[in-house]
C-alpha cells in the first residue's frame, strides 16, 4: 500500500510513522508513506498557498491552484483508489471504513488547514471525506496520522498475530471484553476463573457476553444497529 499525504506542515506528521507498528510495516515494505509539502507548489516565492475567503469572514482558505498542481502531479505518476480529505465536517471514521480502505493499493490524503480548502477542491478531486470526531483541530495532520494507523495495522503481515485485529473493538460492532494477564491475583483482585479453566468454548462465550455487557454500558448506540 502507498499513501501520499499532502500537508502544510510535513514535520508535524512524520514522527508517528517512525515508531511501533507503522514503522514495522514500512520497514517490511508492506506500506510506504510519502509526505508532500504543499508550499512546494506555492504560487510565488513567498510560499503563498492561502487567501482570504470571498464574502468576508475570519480565517484563511487554502487555494485550489497549489492543491491542483500537487494532486495532478501525483495522479500523472500512478492511479489512486481514493483521494481523501481530512475535515471535521465529514462522516466520522469507524472500523468499517478502516477495513475497506485497508484493501486499497494507493491513496492520497489531503490535510485541511486554516479555515479549510476552496470548495472546488472537494468538488473536483476528493473521493472521500473523513472526520476523526466532532471537534476542530488546527489542521488535518493528526487526523491523517490516526487514519493511517487504523488502516496500516490491518494489512496482512503487519501485526505479529493477524487474528489480533479481528478481535479489536468495533470489528463486530461491540467493544472488546476485559483482558487479563499475570499475576492471577493482585491486591485481592483475581482473574475470572473461566479464563483459567482451559475450556475455550466457554471462554469464548464469556468473552462474547462481556463484550455485549460492556457495549451496552459504555456505547449503547452501537447496539441500535
Contact present, 140 and 111 (Cβ < 8 Å): yes
Cα–Cα nearest to 143, from 64, 81, 90: 90
Cα–Cα nearest to 154, from 175, 136, 170: 170
pLDDT of residue 171: 74
Contact present, 84 and 143 (Cβ < 8 Å): no
Pairing of strands 60-62, 50-52: antiparallel
Residue 218, burial from CB neighbour count under 10 angstroms (0-12, 13-18, 19+)? exposed
Q: What is the pLDDT along the chain (225 residues), one digit of tens a residue?
A: 999 999 999 999 999 999 999 999 999 999 999 999 999 999 998 889 999 999 999 999 999 999 999 999 999 999 999 999 999 999 999 999 999 999 999 999 999 998 999 999 999 999 999 999 999 999 999 999 999 999 999 999 998 765 566 666 677 789 999 999 999 999 999 999 999 999 999 999 999 999 999 999 999 999 986
Say if 2-152 and 169-224 have the same CATH topology: no
Please tell me whether residue 116 adopts helix, strand or coil conformation. coil
Would you say domain 169-224 falls under CATH 1.10.1270.20? Answer: yes
Domain spans, the chain: 2-152, 169-224
pLDDT of residue 46: 87
Contact present, 3 and 107 (Cβ < 8 Å): yes
Considering the four listed CATH numbers 3.40.1280.10, 3.40.50.300, 3.20.20.70, 1.10.8.590, the one that applies to the domain covering 2-152 is 3.40.1280.10
Contact present, 155 and 194 (Cβ < 8 Å): no
The DSSP H or E segment spanning 218 is helix 200-218
Amino acid at each position: 500500500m502507498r499513501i501520499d499525504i499532502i500537508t502544510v506542515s510535513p514535520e508535524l506528521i512524520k514522527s508517528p510513522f517512525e515508531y511501533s507498528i507503522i514503522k514495522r510495516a514500512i520497514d517490511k515494505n508492506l506500506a510506504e508513506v510519502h509526505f508532500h509539502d504543499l508550499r512546494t507548489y506555492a504560487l510565488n516565492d513567498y510560499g503563498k498557498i492561502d487567501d482570504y475567503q470571498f464574502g468576508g469572514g475570519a480565517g484563511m482558505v487554502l487555494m485550489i491552484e497549489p492543491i491542483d498542481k500537487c494532486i495532478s502531479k501525483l495522479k500523472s505518476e500512478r492511479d489512486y483508489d481514493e483521494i481523501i480529505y481530512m475535515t471535521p465536517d465529514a462522516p466520522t471514521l469507524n472500523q468499517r471504513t478502516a477495513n475497506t480502505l485497508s484493501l486499497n493499493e494507493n491513496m492520497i490524503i489531503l490535510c485541511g488547514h486554516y479555515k479549510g480548502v476552496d470548495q472546488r477542491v472537494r468538488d473536483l478531486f476528493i473521493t472521500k471525506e473523513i472526520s476523526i470526531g466532532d471537534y476542530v483541530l488546527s489542521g488535518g495532520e493528526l487526523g491523517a496520522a490516526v487514519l493511517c494507523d487504523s488502516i496500516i495495522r490491518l494489512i496482512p503481515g503487519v501485526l505479529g498475530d493477524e487474528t489480533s485485529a479481528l478481535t479489536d473493538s468495533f470489528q463486530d460492532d461491540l467493544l472488546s471484553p476485559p483482558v487479563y494477564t499475570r499475576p492471577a491475583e493482585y491486591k485481592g483482585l483475581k482473574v475470572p476463573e473461566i479464563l483459567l479453566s482451559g475450556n475455550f468454548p466457554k471462554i469464548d462465550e464469556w468473552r462474547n457476553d462481556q463484550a455485549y455487557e460492556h457495549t451496552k454500558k459504555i456505547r449503547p448506540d452501537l447496539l441500535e444497529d
